Each structure stands twice: as C-alpha cells, then as structure tokens.
Amino acid sequence: MTEFDVVVIGAGTGGYVAAIRAAQLGLKVAVVEKQKALGGTCLLWGCIPTKALLEHAHALKIMQHASDWGVTGVEHVGINMSQVQSRKDRIVSGLSKGVEFLFKKNKITWIKGTARLAGSGVVEISEGETTTLRATKDIIVATGSSPRSVPGIAIDHKRIITSDEAIGLSSVPKSMVILGSGAVGVEFASIFRRFGSEVTVLELLPRLVPVEDEAVSAELLKAFRKQGITAHTGAKVTAARVNVDGVDVDAQLSDDAVRTFHAEYLLVATGRGPVTTGLEIERLGVTLEKGYIRVDDMYRTNVPGISAIGDVITMGRPHPQLAHVSSAEGILAAERIAGQQVRPINYDHVPGCTYCDPEIGSVGLTEQEAKARGYDVRIGSFPFGVLGRAKMAGETEGFVKIVSDKKYDELLGVHMIGPRSTELVAEATVALRLESTVEELIHTIHAHPTMAEAVGEAAHATHGAAIHV
C-alpha cells in the first residue's frame, strides 16, 4: 500500500487543478484517472473540442462574407471535416499533454485505472492487478458527469447521439435535431448550421437558454431565426425512432400539435448526471442526493477525510456544472486540506459563457431573479449595433444589459449577447466581486474603439445617460 497525503479521483478540471494546488502547498499527491489521457470532460469532450469547432465555424463565417471584406478569390467556400477534426484533435491532445507536464513539474503521481473507495482513507484501483493507496489526509472525489437523456429517448450513440459523438462527426450532417437549448445544445446548433446542416432545436421550456436573462433568450431566438435555425420552445419530445437514413423525432409543440421531425441525427443535449458508478462511495456512508455527492461549502462530505468537487456534487441548491467552477472548488478544497484559511465561493458571482453565435456572457442576477429577491430593480442596456468596433467587425447583433438595485445603485448582474461577450463578461465579474456600484462602472474609462464600451455605455444607460443612443 502506497501512502499519499491526498488521493484525487478523476483528472478533469476539478481534480487536476486540486492536485496541482495541493502539490504546490507541499502535499504528496496521487491522481487516479480511468481514461488514457488527462483533462476530463472539459478538455477531452467538452469546452475545448466544442470551442475549437466554433472557431472553425467563425472562420467559415468570415470566408462566407469574403466579398463584404473585399477579399477576393474565395468564391467556393466549404468546410473540410477531416481537417477540422485533425486540428481539433491536435489542440485537445496538446492541452492534455500540457496537464501531464504539469503533473511531472509538481511531482504528482498519475495512476491509470478505475478507482473505488475500499475503506476509510483507502482507494483501490483494479487495472489488471490491484493497486491500493492510502490517503493520510484526504480523498478528493472529482469524478464529474456524463450525458443523460430524457424518458422515452434511448441514446444509441449512432443516430441518437450525445455531445461525446457530436464533436467527432467526420462529415457535416444534412440535418440535425437538437433536444435541449442549454449551452451545449445552442453551441452545436451554431456549429452545424454554419457548417451547412439543417438544424432544428426543440426546447421543453418556454425559451431558449432558459438560465439566461429573458431578454438574452429573446435575442438569441431572433438571431437563430435569421441564420435559418428552426427553434421550437415549449416543445415536448415524446419519442425517437431510428430508421435507415436517420431518426424520426415526435414532439408535442406549444400549440399542442404533434409533429414528427426527420433528421440524420438527434443530438440529446438535456443535461448531465453525476458519475459515481463503481466508486462504492455509499458503502462508506457518504450522503448522496439524486446520485450527486452532498458536500458543505468547504467541499467536505459527511464522512471525515472524503471531499468532493465539480460536476459530481450537490450543495442542496442548483450547482453550476462548469469547468471554472470545478477548478475554483478544487483550489479551495486543496487549500483547506493543506490547513489554509479559506472562504466559501459566492455562486452569485460565477460567470457563465455560451459560445453560440452570437455569444452570451452573463454574471450575477438576471432581472427576473433580482425582482424575485425583492430588489427595486433598475435596468440599463446598450446595443452593440451602434458601436464603432462592432460595425468594423460586422457583428452588430445583441446588447449589454445591466441589472442594478435602485436604492444603493448596487450592481446585481450583467447580461450580454453579442460579439466577444464571453470575454467582456470578465470586467463585469470583477465589478461584482468588488461589490461595485453602477456609478463606479460609469467612472471606469473604457478604451475607444472597443467592444467593452458597450459595458460602460450600459452603465451610463442605467442612469439614463447613455451617450451614443
């Protein structure tokens, strides 16, 4: 039995970051990972491959509008999927190798195989022969999540697929129905529509990207329609049948009409469930809720010496399944285990980015949430359409919307859809973190000409003083 201070199970953005931070703090760390490569969902099947595909879609968009840019000689624009896939794969494997390098640099032991909790402080890995590890301080469970379906829809991974298969398609599908309009659903809608597929999005809730501010959802619907993406909200998918050339999808639409959609693929993007199979964590008395590991705000389970972070956890309230959240939790858990003073994460300040076209960036309370919490809400928004930088980029859709509290001028949330929103949200995140007022944003000088001017102008607009509208 080999002894470590900390044994981390899972090398996703939660686990590998926790391991590096623990090692930086002088702890002896092992990471057990069942995949052959490091990086987990984000790096191997999630954030990185999808955003790589979206960059290809963006490049194609620019080329399709070559004549607007005065670029000549590009009359027949198309996309070569094998080149797209090999570039994407190179990016993914390069980044995964980067994590391997960081493990070596920080003297972290990588153990390949599937872990199970075999007793107090004991982790067992069966990969041919059995390896047993003892964690003298803590075990951090960071086993993440995997795609889940909805009743009546059986994923066959061939025609009825998940994001895991969608990222690897070797040719552009003629048509695709996407079930669910969360971040994953709308990002794939943007990718495949730009590549040339007929795309239909079916969403059960009354609007696209349901976690976003309502104004953002409405703007995305408008943009999708312009791009030729068909979107039905309030649509309940009841069945899907695979046939010779694709799949038939039955849905009851918002007007109660029942329709069958035919497509080459049905992409199920209805969320992800926790991965705890084979861990045998319940045997040690760890509390699970709907399969998620219950933790406190320091990521401790109810069993001393076992912590959990990332997509696999619940804290008794909605927990965002995001890479940067899992990493922040990993750092906090590692620092707490190393004996440092740590403060809980404020989940109201977690930025969310959706890289569809147009992009969405948001942080803090939506207008609806702020009203529900009893704030006397004051709103200010500013359209990208009048901004010099947006006109130059040919990206004039969308706006920045600020949600604030009238009484104290406190900034409560910033929601944006439009060019570079996934980058611009960083400014808003710092402002929220520093408990900024809107006035402080107004007095922050935004360089010209930049997309960030839209944030400054939205702050001015909140006080009824936008300059350029």
The Cα-based distances of 324 to 146, 262, 350 in angstroms read 17, 37, 9
The Cα 323–Cα 41 span in angstroms is 9
Site for ligand FAD in 245-304 (CB under 6 A): 275, 278-279
Length of the chain: 469
Distance between CA 190 and CA 180 in Å, rounded? 14
Q: Which of 7, 13, 335, 403 binds ligand FAD (CB under 6 A)?
A: 13
10 binding ligand FAD? (CB under 6 A): yes
If the CB atoms of residues 15 and 413 are measured against ligand FAD, the closer one turns out to be: 15
Q: Which of residues 19-48 bind ligand FAD (CB under 6 A)?
A: 32-35, 40-42, 45-47
Nearest Cα to 184, choosing from 160, 153, 208, 204? 208
> Does 306 engage in binding with ligand FAD (CB under 6 A)?
no
Q: Does 52 bind ligand FAD (CB under 6 A)?
A: no
- Of 117 and 454, nearer to ligand FAD (C-beta) is 117
Distance CA 323, CA 99 (A): 15
CA-wise closest residue to 311 among 368, 359, 272: 272
Query: CA-CA distance, 203 to 232, in Å (whole number)?
Result: 6
Q: Which of 448, 460, 463, 468 is catalytic?
A: 448
Q: What is the DSSP letter of 69?
A: G
Amino acid at 315: M
Dist CA 404 CA 438 (whole Å)? 7
Does residue 366 touch ligand FAD according to CB under 6 A?
no
Choose between 352 and 383: whose C-beta lies nearer to ligand FAD: 352
Nearest to 385 by CA among 398, 372, 371: 398
CB nearer to ligand FAD: pick between 28 and 319: 319
* Interacting positions 131-190 with ligand FAD (CB under 6 A): 142-145, 163, 184
Closer CB to ligand FAD, residue 404 or residue 422?
422
- Determine which residue in the list 301, 307, 321, 421 makes contact with ligand FAD, applying CB under 6 A: 321
- Gap between the Cα atoms of 293 and 311, Å rounded: 10
Q: State the nearest-atom distance from the C-beta of 180 to ligand FAD, in Å.
A: 11
Is residue 324 near ligand FAD by the rule CB under 6 A? yes
The least CB distance from residue 409 to ligand FAD, in Å, is 30
Q: Which stretch binds ligand FAD (CB under 6 A): 5-13, 70-78, 339-347, 457-465?
A: 5-13
161 with 267: CB under 8 angstroms? yes
**Cβ density class 229-253: b for 16+ within 10 Å, e for less:** bebbbebbbeebeeeeebbebebee
DSSP 358: S
Look up residue 53 and give its two tokens. 């595909």
Question: Whole-number minimum distance, CB 14 to ligand FAD, in Å?
Answer: 3
112 near ligand FAD (CB under 6 A): no
Q: Least distance in Å: CB of 320 to ligand FAD?
A: 8
* Distance from chain centroid for Cα 215: 20
Q: How far is the CB of 97 from ligand FAD (least distance, A)?
A: 15
CA 129/CA 110 separation, integer angstroms: 16
Size of the site for ligand FAD (CB under 6 A): 37
CA distances from 9 to 35, 107, 326, 413 (A): 12, 17, 13, 35
Residue 114 burial (C-beta neighbours within 10 Å; 0-12, 13-18, 19+): middle
Query: Is the CB of 45 or the CB of 384 nearer to ligand FAD?
Result: 45
Q: Is 238 in the site for ligand FAD (CB under 6 A)?
A: no
Which C-beta is closer to ligand FAD: that of 329 or that of 397? Answer: 329
Q: Which of 9, 99, 201, 412 binds ligand FAD (CB under 6 A)?
A: 9
- Does the annotation count 448 as an active-site position? yes
Residue 14 in contact with ligand FAD, rule: CB under 6 A: yes
Residue positions annotated with a catalytic role: 448
Applying CB under 6 A, the residues found at the interface with ligand FAD are: 9-15, 32-35, 40-42, 45-47, 50-51, 114-115, 142-145, 163, 184, 275, 278-279, 310-311, 321-324, 326
